[in-house]
Amino acid sequence: MRSQGQVRFIKISSRMQKIAAAATVSALLVWAISMAIMAWSQYRAEADRVSLLEREAKVATAEDRVAEYADDLTKVTSDLAARQEFLEAATAAIPNDVKLSEGETVTDSTSEANDTVSKVSALIPEAGELAKIEARQLALVEKLTRFADRRAARAAQAIRQLGLDPKTMQARLDTSAMGGPLELLSSGSSGGLDPRFERLGLSLARMNALERGLDSIPQVAPAHVKMVTSSYGYRRDPFTGAAAMHSGLDFKGPRGAPIYAAAKGRVTYVGGKSGYGKTVEISHGNGLMTRYAHMSNYAAKVGQTVEAGDVIGAIGSTGRSTGPHLHFEVRINERAVNPRPFLEKAPNVLKEARSGTRSTPQQKSDR
């Protein structure tokens, strides 16, 4: 090592070299195993989807349903009542003015359902009305599935417009905080779930995952100032004058001006950071993280859940700073990316994606 004209040598023992080599090999093995597990998970997910589509294509025929009605009418009535409660809860989220087009991603089984109604009514007159209820429910299930698929597609398109991968957001759906009593929706005396109901559940889960992903995208300006004094990319360093990478945006503002969370997330770091001074970091899921630096004080705590526009601190000049400003970063899997496209494009893109579903998060009124 050469330092100030002097040359120094560092000797690494054979034992230390072996330890370093072993650590490197172990890290490579862990990475290879992780990749294999991820590939297997994707394979299983695709296999499950194909299996479901095959089962959906083999929905019970009218003759099968006639046999089930004749076998246990009470059981069929109970099943239909459970389905009805499920559908009423699900349809409460659909706006009244939303028009649904036919044949988007699921088949229309109206003709098959009408055939079933006719046969059941002819062979078991007392079950005719129940057959009609079931036919209406199945039609509603297919409509709900199309609606969920349409919203999911709209959310996925918005995510892609912002340079992100919707498949990644969907795959990272967190199921660690879900629960509740097990209430199966069976289909007749066989006790199996009608694949159209299962398909609806998957479509709703995908829609929810992607729309939650929209909430995690930076979309609110982190400071109520319009002047950006330094952009993302290479610039002349204000201290050394040499070219250096600037991994965020600098918002000039008065000391003490509020700083806002750019998106919904969980505060994962509050404290000092070398060069950044007083810093707050927010994890938004899906590998997205925002960093707010050079603060004068904090208004957030580690573990706190924040919404887009919540105040998390105040502008300052702590750390490596030439004056009061906010240094704002967006990182994806620890890699800094340009925050400007998110702040400029996200509000309009997300507003369009959410049209007819819910309003775009706005900055808080206490600004």
Q: What is the mean pLDDT of residues 104-128?
A: 72
Residue 231 has a pLDDT of 86
- Under a CB-based contact definition with an 8 Å cutoff, are residues 250 and 277 in contact? no
Mean pLDDT of 258-284: 95
d(CA 312, CA 270): 10
| Fold designation for 228-353 | Glucose Permease (Domain IIA) (2.70.70)
Q: What pLDDT does residue 301 have?
A: 96
Pairwise CA distance, residues 242 & 236, whole Å: 5
Q: What percent of the chain has pLDDT over 70?
A: 61
Give me the pLDDT at residue 169, please.
65
Q: Which of 54-63, 109-118, 119-128, 217-226 has the lowest mean pLDDT?
A: 54-63
pLDDT of residue 361: 44
E strands along the chain, which residues?
Answer: 2-3, 6-7, 228-230, 233-236, 243-246, 249-252, 258-260, 265-273, 277-285, 288-298, 305-306, 311-315, 325-332, 335-337
User: What's the CA gap between 9 and 28, in Å, rounded?
Assistant: 30
Listed residue (274, 275, 306) closest to 290, CA to CA: 306
Higher pLDDT, residue 365 or 63: 63
pLDDT at 60: 55
Give per-residue burial for 279-297: e unless 16+ CB within 10 Å, then b: bbbbbbbbbbbbbbbbbbe
Q: In the predicted model, what is the mean pLDDT of the chain?
A: 75
What is the pLDDT averaged over residues 58-86? 68
204, 148 contact by CB (below 8 A):
yes
C-alpha span between 231 and 337 (Å, rounded): 12
Provide the total of helices (H) and of strands (E) in the chain, helices listed first.
8, 14
Helix (H, G, I), strand (E, B) or coil at 252: strand
Lowest mean pLDDT, pick from 188-202, 236-250, 319-333: 188-202
What element of type H or E holds 40? helix 14-56
Question: Where exactly are the structural domains of the chain?
Answer: 79-174+186-215, 228-353
Nearest to 195 by CA among 57, 67, 11: 57
Indicate yes or no: pTM above 0.75: no
> Which of the pair, 239 or 110, is modelled with greater confidence?
239
Q: Is the dihedral of CA 192, 193, 195, 198 positive or negative?
A: negative
Lowest-confidence region among 48-52, 120-124, 229-233, 308-312: 48-52
Q: Would you place residue 273 in the very low, low, confident or very high pLDDT band (cuts 50, 70, 90)?
A: very high
- The type of residue at 187 is S
Write the Ramachandran bin of 286: left for phi over 0, alpha for psi from -120 to 50, otherwise beta. left
Torsion of CA 162, 164, 170, 173, to 10 degrees: -100
Which pLDDT score, from 0 to 100, does residue 66 have? 65
The SS3 assignment for 59 reads coil
More confident residue, 239 or 328: 328
The predicted-structure confidence for 185-229, as pLDDT tens digits, reads as follows 555 545 556 777 788 888 888 888 888 777 788 888 899 876 788
**What's the distance, Cα to Cα, between the start and end of the chain in Å?**
54
Q: Residue 5: what pLDDT?
A: 65
Predicted confidence (pLDDT) per residue in 10-62, tens digit: 666 666 666 666 666 666 666 666 666 665 566 566 666 666 666 665 565 56
pLDDT band of residue 82 (cuts 50, 70, 90) is confident
